[in-house]
Amino acid sequence: MKRVVKLFAAALLVLMASSCAKSLKDIKVTYYEITSFSPRGLTSFDATVDLGVDNPSVQFALSKVNAVVKLDGAPCLHLTADDVTVAPRCEQVYPLVLHGTMDEGFNPFSLMTLLRSPGLEPLTIDVSFYGALKSGLGKQFEYKDLPLTDLVSQL
């Protein structure tokens, strides 16, 4: 599960950078590491992922972050993230706080088996978030059925 959390956090910034104006396309994720992982019962967790971001562009914020990780098309993990604001024209590490819950109909042993295997092919992700510039201009972004392997290759 930690592997999925780490990949989701990094993929979120890759998605945001690739979907905004041209100047924002130069944003790069330079580092990511899970710094805390706290289970909440058997089906939920909180995690903090430190993301290194090189932002040569303007300040932007991500909010209302929601994602559903799917295994072979069936929902397995629901994720939300706390809001994060990325400073302009600098390289900095940002803590991204994630909250996850396993889908009620999902067998957790399937995820454990998958996370031990090297491939991520059966995993896709639906992501939505609101991206806003410092000026307040923003847009809701929504992506469906993105293969996690494609996002990882962009990191």
Specify the pLDDT at position 85. 95
Query: Into how many domains does the chain fold?
Result: 1
pLDDT digits (tens, 9 = 90+) for 124-147: 899 999 999 888 888 999 999 988
Residue-range definition of the domain harbouring residue 100: 2-153
Q: How many helices (H) and strands (E) does the chain have?
A: 3, 8
pTM of the model: 0.76
Q: How far apart are CA 118 and CA 90, in angstroms?
A: 34
Question: 16 versus 59: which is more confidently predicted?
Answer: 59
Sign of CA pseudo-dihedral 114, 119, 124, 128: positive
pLDDT of residue 137: 87
Indicate if the pLDDT at residue 6 is higher than 80: no
State both tokens at 118: 């090297």
Among 3, 5, 30, CA closest to 119: 3
What count of other Cβ atoms lies within 10 Å of the Cβ of residue 23?
Answer: 10
Residue type, 85: T
CATH number of the domain enclosing 120: 2.60.40
DSSP 3-state percent helix, strand, coil across the chain (nearest 5):
25, 55, 25
